[in-house]
Chain A
Amino acid sequence: MAMSAGQLLVETKDLTKHYGELVAVDKLNLRVERGTIFGLLGPNGAGKTTTILMLLGLTEPTAGKALINGLDPTRNPLQVKSIVGYLPDNVGFYQDMTGEANLRYTCELNGLSPGEAEKRIMSALERVGLKNDAHRKVSEYSRGMRQRLGIADLLVKDPPLIIMDEPTLGIDPKGVRELLQLIRELVEEDNRTILLASHLLHQVQEVCDKVGIFVKGKMIASGTIDSLGSQLGSKEKVRLEVCAEPLDEALINLCRDTDGVLGVKQEGRMLIIRSKKDIRSSLAAKIVAGGYNLLHLRQSEFSLDDIYQRYFQEKEGEYEEDGASEDKSARA
């Protein structure tokens, strides 16, 4: 299928989905550029799967619309589904069919000729390392193998856009590494675009070009990982670990009163200080002047993990304040 010249492969305009009272996805504006990996990051029940189903045209949006390569999935389901490959979180295969037969079914559903299908099946199985298990029933596959078969399933379809829902869930660390490697290859060598939904942050951090943080149906931040850091950094740029003796209330108050400090928290023998800017020198001077022994002072950058944690804590806190009823109706 010929691709139009636009840079955006996936675009949503105020995409909204209601399930009765519950707002699963709230005015989502998502933009995924060609040839990039976009990580949709959010806790369980944030509306990630609902969003994906709307992108595939399997669920109708309540309002707004989604565009895949400029096409509306609810109006042109076949065109959209033929350029999108979908890997669900618990990828389903027919248990009593062999791995190869499952892939053949996918080929038939995609209308490939038998010759072309066999060629693609062989090369896909080889690429994911399942060639020797091709004739075994899927019920005998391990979870990791099943996931690899899922990737092979995407490869036989050969779509320009791949949507993965929790691809790394329940796989051992080695398997995850191989999978991420493969995901990277799919983008870099085959020039595909990948939209990846996950609540497992480290993996997303490793492979994604851009991420969007998605909580309770709302995209609360999006951009490159660095820009997310600075988005958060506008409030608090640095985190300081301080260890001084004696560790008492007066020291905590002293730190709290220092210019630029946003918050002080005691963690074991360490004080964690959040501040707007680099205050190492002034803080050190103050601590020493106060008659304390400064044992350790370290400034740490925020990892995405911190950002993630912070965002979720803050945002969930906000939600609890203004809508406790919303939590009750939230789906698991």
Chain B
Amino acid sequence: MKKMELPKINLPGLSDLRHANSGLAAVVKKEVADQLSGKRFLILTALVVVACFSSLYIAASEIKSAADSSFVFLKLFTTAGSRLPFSFTSFIAFLGPLVGLIMGFDGISGEKDRGTLSHVLSQPIYRDALINGKFLAGVLVLAFVIFGMGILTGALGLIIFGIPPTLEEVLRIICYLLLSVVYISFWHALSLLFSIVFRQPATSALAGIAIWLFLTLFAVFLIGMIADAIYPVTSTSDTEQVVANIRLNMLLGRFTPNVLYEQAVITLLNPSVRALGVVMFDQAIGAIDAPLSVGQSILLVWPHLVGIFAAMLVCFAIGYYLFMRQEIRA
């Protein structure tokens, strides 16, 4: 029989709270410095910056020819050209997850390999300070990069067009950038989780990239196949069948964070998007064909935002739990 001692229960005061996070600031500081000074980060940032500037260049030339004056600033982020079919947003949506993954795939396993894990954890910090610090540092660096690029793109757009953004546009862009940080943080949390589960950094990186490829490339086909199998659509199908097929397709798609992100981005950066999903003709009767306000757009994608945030938290929570239970052996 194991003898159990009853722990004393004290209500946490402010000093206890500070005490509980001792070392967190030091870990965050060190991890941020590590991320920013690493060559890996330099290469990734260079890639993303080049991608963004080329998209900006394309958007600028397209918009000039189109000479469309409503929400020009937002179009800067969403316009894709004919030569290079990528916009700022599609670049972030495509490369962002990769950045998040690569920043964290050896987060814990690397510490184990170098034998630093037992050394750090033998210092007077709680075990979770390390994983919290690593994740927070990743999020901080991501926020720095995403906001840096967003603001840079905006500033260049301002120089090119000479039209200042409206408050509406600024708010939408900030929402978009925040959403991107959360979305890429989801991938970062996933890569940290893999770095805890897999001993080999290569395995962990591969697992992350496999999930990324699956979700961005194959999941769409798979979902389409499932929807078609349950509600087959032929040329003679009635409307209900077609609608059911599309609904199921969307429902399943919403279980993948990249579809959630895509829909949220479209809605946030296009005020003319009034609804997501199937809108029947009779539902549209009487609707005023005008752009939505920021608040209404956010309201429309609120479930998406919560979904992405929850996915990030769930990934992190699983990693946290596994890390706290893991054996620390040098």
By a beta-carbon cutoff of 8 Å, the part of chain A in contact with chain B is 49, 53, 56, 58-59, 63, 75, 77-79, 81-82, 84-86, 88-96, 105-106, 108-111, 153, 157, 165
Contacts and interface: CB of A to CB of B under 8 A. Distances in A.
B55 to A, nearest CB: 33
A152 to B, nearest CB: 13
B30 A108 contact: yes
Given A88-B118, A108-B29, A111-B124, A78 B328 contact: no
Nearest to A86: B122
A44 to B, nearest CB: 13
A153 to B, nearest CB: 8
B7 A75 contact: yes
A78 B126 contact: yes
A109 B26 contact: yes
13 contacts: A53-B329, A58-B328, A78-B19, A78-B125, A86-B118, A86-B122, A88-B119, A89-B330, A92-B115, A108-B25, A109-B124, A110-B123, A153-B119
B124 A105 contact: no
A58 B122 contact: yes
Interface in B241-287: none
Nearest to B29: A108
Given A92-B115, A93-B116, A105 B26 contact: yes
Contacts of B124: 77-79, 81-82, 109-111
A92 B122 contact: no
Interface of B: 2, 5, 7, 19, 22-23, 25-27, 29-30, 34, 37-38, 111, 114-126, 327-330
Given A58-B122, A63-B2, A110-B123, A53 B115 contact: no
A78 B129 CA distance: 12
A78 B114 contact: no
A96 B34 CA distance: 9
Contacts of B38: 96
Contacts of B111: 92
A111 to B, nearest CB: 6
A38 to B, nearest CB: 18
B126 A77 contact: yes
B52 to A, nearest CB: 28
Contacts of A78: 19, 22, 124-126
Given A53-B328, A108-B30, A90 B115 contact: yes
A153 B327 CA distance: 24
A92 B26 contact: no
